[in-house]
Amino acid sequence: MAENIQATRDAKHGMALAVTLWAIMLVSVAFFFKYDLPELASDRQSQDTLYYVILGLTGVAYIVIQSLFAFYIWKYRHRDDAEGSYWHESHKMEVAWTIATAVILVPIVFAGLVIWDDVKAAPPEDVFTIEAVGAQFQWDIRYPGPDGQFGSWRPELYSLENYLGIDPDDAAGNDDIHLINQMVLPIDQPVRILLRSKDVQHAFFLPHFRVKQDLMPGIMTSVWFTPTKIGEYEIACAELCGLGHYRMRAFLSIRSQADYDTWLAEQSQAN
Amino acid sequence: MSEGHDDHGHGKQSFISKYIFSYDHKMIAKQYLTLVMFMAVVGGSLAMLVRLQLGWPGQHAQFWETLFPAGMAQGVMTPEFYVMLFTMHGTIMVFFVLSLGPVSGFGNFLIPLQVGARDMAFPFLNMMSFWTALPGAIIILISFFVEGGAAASGWTAYPPLSAIRSAIPGSAMGQTLWIVGMIFFIASFTMGGLNFVVTILNLRTKGLKMMRLPLTTWAQFLVGILGLLAFPALAAGSILLLFDRGLGTSFYLPAGIFIGDTLFPHSGGSPLLWQHLFWFLGHPEVYIIMLPALGFTSDIISTFTRRPIFGYRSMVYAIVAIAMLSFVVWGHHMFVSGMSPFLGTAFTMTTLCIAVPSAVKVFNWLATLWMAKIQFTTPMLFALGIVSFFVTGGLTGIFLGTNVVDIQLHDTYFVVAHFHFIMAGAGLFGLLAAVYYWFPKMFGRHMNERAGKVHFWFTFIAYYGVFFPMHYLGISGMMRRIYDPNTYDYLKPFQNVNTFISISAFILGLAQVIFLANYFWSMFKGKKVESENPWHANTLEWSTPIHPGHGNWPGDIPEVYRWPYDYQHPDEEGDHAPQWQPPAKVKAAK
Amino acid sequence: MKKIVLIAFFALALVAACGGGDGEEASAPAAVAAAPAFDPATAGAMTGTVTLEGEAPEMSTIQMSADPNCARLHSETVTNEFVVVGEGGTLANAFVYIKSGIEGNFPPPSEPVVLNQEGCLYSPHVMGIQVGQTLQVVNSDETLHNIHAMPKNNKEFNIGQPIKGLKTEKTFDNVEIMVPFKCDVHKWMNSYAGVLDHPYFAVTGVDGSFNIPDLPPGDYVVEVWHERLGTQEMNITVGEKETVEANFAFSGE
């Protein structure tokens, strides 16, 4: 009997837990309407679409499951007069919810594959290429200059005056434009960014452009995308690279083609 | 195997053989749990410091300097100290708390009791495994005190940051000790895993078929296999890293690495190799932490709903599937690493496969609650908390497992939120639920229920308060492992979220004091257990005496007649029929 | 010197940190100069000028825009300080020191050498310091600087100073010509310290001049070091109360 008194008192905790679960569910879902991805500034709309699709599907699943869970906790809290149940097997139900889960996942996987192929596909032919080199704790941005060719580089040439190790004997390198933590791109023009690291791993992260790619020492990686919105943005490092990781921040300016051309001419001049 | 351990007398052993170099799996389990609690306090305190910085970046109170003269000189945390804090928080929590606690601690305690064995298959190896884990933990702790401080390359220790001494202060001596500590840990865990697998396969008592094992033991069985197959990869990887650091090899270091003003002479290696080796362990490791918690949950829920676990068979198949799949999904940690995009595709498919068995588990738990008579004891509350975390963390896994969406969310706080629910949350709550549930069997006393409930409420609500808002930070683009998000203009608006998280974190931290006090108080002063089966549970450990001696059962080992979930059996009297209770005569006559 | 000294309990917790150490107070008044083994009244001195013959290399512009917190401190373009030349080819930032011939023990002075990080530049660009003397590194900028010393013969250190006003103190244990300093956040920032076990060194100003006073009489090898132009040696003899003039000339491009 003493046990039942205890169980009845505990039942209040069950009711409280149910209410708490509902409350957490409501509050946590509500804030998803307040916090959103940073405003998109590139052509990678499809990535966002898939994100929202998954957010919707998992959101519904989250609401349904947590609510049902809370409801059961409420409803089946200990009652002295309750009937027990030994029912513990239903082949049909188990098969049903296994298949249902799988069926919901298939379109996500499929859509993911298609979009992934798009993102990772070779860039269009009119793409222009720049280079972003990561180092503790700085982004060196290189434009090929008027000749459209990058000068070759060698690690042996790295120095305080030649961060990128550009070979002075290579004529293609003479007009290369080297900027620290500054990147300027024209709108609506596909750009490919070659990524390499001088020291440790970094990650090139453009939060507003849905672009993230690790820089792996010894391997040249690349990303390509098309900026679609004029404005000033930030470039972040997203892979721990040392004590100044949080300060490995650069600036990306998206400009109209005309403004970009003016800027590029100025840079070439200054060079 | 176990004949030699029939001695269940108490006074015969010396202090050393009983409490220190004990062969008794129950004592070894208690040793592990004591170590785990100490490490958890250290690891948790590191997290508090991390939250101090993120909640209020910049100047802190001057008195911090007296605690950390270099790390927080003039009350300002240095970035290298911050990196060390989260590195060691991750390392200690993942390996020395959430692996050692539920697996080495409760695995040791429960496996022989639940399979009906007098001890583990290899008691000496078992003792050795603790005495290998302990030096590992001590080495990890010592590393805080060496030149440059403890390791500071993240718990993932990606080279070259972890391989080159001048890359960050923690990569000097601290990283070496980290590797050595990990090798000790891995050795210990491998010995444990071997014991688990052999004991469960060979030492089951009469009548205990594999499909009659409690889900806790099933989980420990799979964890043993996972550990045996996965950890050697990290052991090998770590030793190669040690070579790169000290012997001039180039397993992970390509040509052209330039740090400070030095061009390093390495050539030919690739840091990507480390990522493959690390995550080949790293992903199974997640399940090593999670599966025991899911096992505890199933058994505790069944006990306190007074219902058989729903879909026992599919529960077993689900964890077997999860365990097998865990070996082929490691690449989802590397979607943006630069590995072949084809692998990205493959790993997305395998990863999302895991959602299916995971969902099955959730539905089974829900179905178990249906028509239940739930008793909201403290362990039950924690077990229900695990279900809620598992749902939350499982669903966010779908975002991260989809490579396209992962591009944006990778290495953001969304990931931090995700794994703190699915892995850390389930693991921590599993550990706590297990302590509350099996405490009577360990010490013959109950933990204080009232304090336990207070502990649950603060912990559960604060846990959501800490980790759910991290999803918002993640989708807003806040990277992991950054010392001061306000460096970025686009992250400045979210400082209030960070402050809220930090306040929740301090509440979460303080709530654990209630637990520790309750644990140690109850050990000596808790309400004495009146019967050997205080929860009216069905599994075999509850057939042992209130204070089981070395050898576990004073007489013969009981025979098992049924599965462990006969609650509310229509043909049996009373509301439960333990595994050692012969079938009802009525039924037998049929 | 960095050493770990403390275990702190935080809610029953043990957390550890690195810091504290020797050398903080050690170099204070205790070190009343153990008298050099000569009569100060007989001391001579060495003065001179370091010049660069030929054309000075053109210094590249520093891209201060890399960090807005640096850029806002400079209204004009700032150039690198690898070679700084004054009127008439006088060479600044050359480190002149007695390379050999000095005997005796010279306790380190109690006042620190200050290395200031201001406007995302090091000041001074080149400095001398005695073994055991305190180096005080000050951050005067509202940005992260990390002071990364990369000695060959002393202990490497790498300390982040995330906010303005922070000071860190360090000492060197061994003689070393020269210890380079770098800031990895602002890669153009570099500085050098010459670590010696005696006080007979100087750094040239923009006028190229240097002065090493209170030099005991004797025969010495003097060396001048410049970060880009290399080193030159000269033998000198200092008589009692004599001021020796030693001029050095590097040739340019």
**Considering the domain boundaries, does residue C238 fall inside one?**
yes
Chain A nearest CA to B582, separation (Å): 18
pLDDT at residue B59, rounded to an integer? 84
CB-CB: which of A50, A89, A234 is closest to B404?
A: A50
pLDDT tier at C37, thresholds 50, 70, 90: low
The answer to whether the peptide bond before residue C9 is cis (omega within 30 degrees of 0) is no
Chain A nearest CA to C191, separation (Å): 12
The answer to whether residue C20 scores a pLDDT higher than 60 is no
Interface of C with B in 93-152 (CB under 8 A): 144, 146, 148, 150
**Residue labelled with tokens 């943005």:** A233
Number of H helices, E strands in chain C: 1, 19
CB-CB: which of B272, B457, B464 is closest to A219?
A: B272
Work out how many CB contacts closer than 8 A connect A with C. Answer: 44
**Considering the domain boundaries, does residue B15 fall inside one?**
no
pLDDT at residue C38, rounded to an integer? 73
- Strand segments, DSSP code E, in chain A are 128-135, 138-143, 177-180, 182-186, 191-197, 202-206, 211-215, 221-225, 231-237, 250-255
CB-CB: which of C4, C160, C167 is closest to B78?
A: C160
pLDDT at residue A3, rounded to an integer? 53
**Considering the domain boundaries, does residue C1 fall inside one?**
no
Whether residue A60 sits in one domain with residue A8: yes
Whether residue A103 sits in one domain with residue A145: no
**Considering the domain boundaries, does residue A39 fall inside one?**
yes
Contact between chains at A137 and C184 (C-beta distance less than 8 A): yes
Supply the range of the domain harboring residue C238: 38-63+83-105+201-253
CB-CB: which of C8, C11, C162 is closest to B76?
A: C162
Three-class SS state of A157: helix
Contacts of A247 in chain C (CB under 8 A): 143-144, 185
- B251 within 8 A of B240, measured Cβ to Cβ: yes
Contact between chains at A101 and B336 (C-beta distance less than 8 A): no
pLDDT, tens digit only, all 271 positions of chain A: 345 556 667 889 999 999 999 999 999 999 999 999 999 999 999 999 999 999 999 999 999 999 999 999 999 987 777 777 888 889 999 999 999 999 999 999 999 999 999 999 999 999 999 999 999 999 999 999 888 899 999 999 998 889 999 999 999 988 999 999 999 999 999 999 999 999 999 999 999 999 999 999 999 999 999 999 999 999 999 999 999 999 999 999 999 999 999 999 999 887 7
CB-CB: which of C63, C82, C146 is closest to A180?
A: C63
CB-CB: which of A72, A82, A245 is closest to B369?
A: A72
Supply the range of the domain harboring residue B63: 28-259+270-576
Contact between chains at A98 and B369 (C-beta distance less than 8 A): no
Work out how many CB contacts closer than 8 A connect A with B. Answer: 319
Distance CA B384, CA B372 (A): 13
Chain C nearest CA to B144, separation (Å): 6
Q: Which CATH number covers residue C245? A: 2.60.40.10
Number of domains in chain C: 1
Beta bridge partners of B445: B528
pLDDT at residue C36, rounded to an integer? 54
Residue type, B485: P
Residue B474: partners with Cβ closer than 8 Å, 6 or more residues away? B409, B412, B413, B414, B415, B416, B417
Three-class SS state of C5: coil
The two three-digit tokens of residue B536, written as one number: 């009216």
The answer to whether residue C5 scores a pLDDT higher than 50 is no
The answer to whether residue B4 scores a pLDDT higher than 50 is no
Say if C25 is an interface residue toward chain B (CB within 8 Å): no
Contact between chains at C184 and A136 (C-beta distance less than 8 A): yes
**DSSP secondary structure letter of residue C185:** S
List all chains that touch chain B, counting a touch as 3 or more CB pairs closer than 8 Å: A, C
Write down the pTM of the prediction: 0.93
CB-CB: which of B258, B269, B271 is closest to A158?
A: B258
pLDDT at residue C104, rounded to an integer? 86
pLDDT at residue A5, rounded to an integer? 59
Q: Where is average pLDDT lowest: A3-17, A111-125, B170-184, B559-573?
A: A3-17
Contact between chains at A217 and B271 (C-beta distance less than 8 A): yes
Contact between chains at A160 and C66 (C-beta distance less than 8 A): no
The two three-digit tokens of residue C225, written as one number: 């070091």
Probe site for chain B from A3, A6, A8, A10 (most B CB atoms < 10 A): A10
Contact between chains at B144 and C156 (C-beta distance less than 8 A): no
**Considering the domain boundaries, does residue A92 fall inside one?**
yes
Interface of C with B in 172-191 (CB under 8 A): 180, 182, 184
* Average pLDDT rounded to a whole number, residues B343-365: 94
Contact between chains at A88 and B263 (C-beta distance less than 8 A): no
Say if C160 is an interface residue toward chain A (CB within 8 Å): yes
**DSSP secondary structure letter of residue C104:** S
**Considering the domain boundaries, does residue A10 fall inside one?**
yes
> How many C-beta neighbours within 10 Å does residue B128 have?
17
**Residue labelled with tokens 């008192």:** A9
**Considering the domain boundaries, does residue B2 fall inside one?**
no
Q: Report the half-sphere exposure of B179 (CA within 13 A, side-chain side).
A: 25
Say if C158 is an interface residue toward chain A (CB within 8 Å): yes
**Considering the domain boundaries, does residue C150 fall inside one?**
no
**Considering the domain boundaries, does residue B484 fall inside one?**
yes
Distance CA B12, CA C178 (A): 69
Q: Which of B61-75, B271-285, C25-39 has the highest mean pLDDT?
A: B271-285
Of B472, B461, B462, B445, give the one whose Cα is nearest residue B528: B445
CB-CB: which of C63, C80, C144 is closest to A244?
A: C144
Whether residue A252 sits in one domain with residue A139: yes
* Average pLDDT rounded to a whole number, residues B418-445: 96
Say if C190 is an interface residue toward chain A (CB within 8 Å): yes
Residue C44: partners with Cβ closer than 8 Å, 6 or more residues away? C215, C216, C217, C238, C239, C240, C241, C242, C243, C244
Chain C residue at shortest CA distance from B512: C11
Q: What percent of chain B has pLDDT over 70?
A: 97
Three-class SS state of A176: coil
Of B4, B44, B164, give the one whose Cα is nearest residue B431: B44
**Residue labelled with tokens 């993120």:** B54
Q: In b/e form, how buried is each residue of B227-263, taking b as 16+ CB within 10 angstroms?
A: bbbbbebbbebbebbbebbeeebbbbbbebbbbbeeb
The answer to whether residue C183 scores a pLDDT higher than 70 is yes
The answer to whether residue C9 scores a pLDDT higher than 50 is no
Q: Which CATH number covers residue B104? A: 1.20.210.10
Chain A residue at shortest CA distance from C67: A181
Q: What are the backbone angles phi and psi of residue C238, rounded to the nearest 5°?
A: -105, 120
B257-269 per-position pLDDT tens digit: 999 888 999 999 9
Find the length of chain B: 590
Cα-Cα end-to-end distance for chain A: 90
DSSP C188-225: T-EEEEEEESSS-EEE--TT-EEEEEEEPSEEEEEEEE
**Considering the domain boundaries, does residue C24 fall inside one?**
no
Contact between chains at C160 and B80 (C-beta distance less than 8 A): yes
Q: What are the backbone angles phi and psi of residue B567, rounded to the nearest 5°?
A: -100, 140
Measured CA to CA in angstroms, residue B322 lies from B295, B316, B351 at distances of 13, 10, 10
**Considering the domain boundaries, does residue B427 fall inside one?**
yes
Measured CA to CA in angstroms, residue A32 lies from A108, B7, C51 at distances of 20, 61, 68
Beta bridge partners of A184: A253
Contacts of B313 in chain A (CB under 8 A): 89
Cα-Cα end-to-end distance for chain B: 38
CB-CB: which of C60, C146, C188 is closest to A244?
A: C146
CB-CB: which of B167, B480, B490 is closest to A234?
A: B490
The answer to whether the peptide bond before residue C124 is cis (omega within 30 degrees of 0) is yes
**Considering the domain boundaries, does residue A83 fall inside one?**
no
pLDDT at residue C31, rounded to an integer? 40
Chain A nearest CA to B455, separation (Å): 13
* Average pLDDT rounded to a whole number, residues B498-510: 97
Beta bridge partners of C148: C158, C182
Contact between chains at A73 and B373 (C-beta distance less than 8 A): no
pLDDT at residue A4, rounded to an integer? 56
The two three-digit tokens of residue A155, written as one number: 């690690």
Residue type, A97: W
Contact between chains at A198 and B256 (C-beta distance less than 8 A): yes
Say if C166 is an interface residue toward chain A (CB within 8 Å): no
Distance CA A50, CA A47 (A): 5
Probe site for chain B from A92, A106, A198, A216 (most B CB atoms < 10 A): A216
pLDDT at residue B585, rounded to an integer? 58
Contact between chains at A244 and C65 (C-beta distance less than 8 A): no
Whether residue A217 sits in one domain with residue A106: no
The answer to whether residue C22 scores a pLDDT higher than 50 is no
Whether residue A241 sits in one domain with residue A136: yes
Whether residue A7 sits in one domain with residue A114: yes
Q: At what angle do helices B355-369 and A45-75 cross, to 10 degrees?
A: 20
**Considering the domain boundaries, does residue B144 fall inside one?**
yes
The two three-digit tokens of residue B244, written as one number: 């790169």
The answer to whether the peptide bond before residue C178 is cis (omega within 30 degrees of 0) is yes
Chain C nearest CA to A21, separation (Å): 30
The answer to whether residue B54 scores a pLDDT higher than 60 is yes
Q: What percent of chain B has pLDDT over 90?
A: 89
**Considering the domain boundaries, does residue C3 fall inside one?**
no
Whether residue A212 sits in one domain with residue A138: yes
Of B528, B460, B537, B110, give the one whose Cα is nearest residue B304: B537
The two three-digit tokens of residue B312, written as one number: 């026992």
Say if C15 is an interface residue toward chain B (CB within 8 Å): yes
Supply the range of the domain harboring residue A133: 128-270
**Considering the domain boundaries, does residue A135 fall inside one?**
yes
- A148 within 8 A of A175, measured Cβ to Cβ: no
Predicted interface score ipTM higher than 0.90: yes
pLDDT at residue C41, rounded to an integer? 83
**Considering the domain boundaries, does residue A57 fall inside one?**
yes
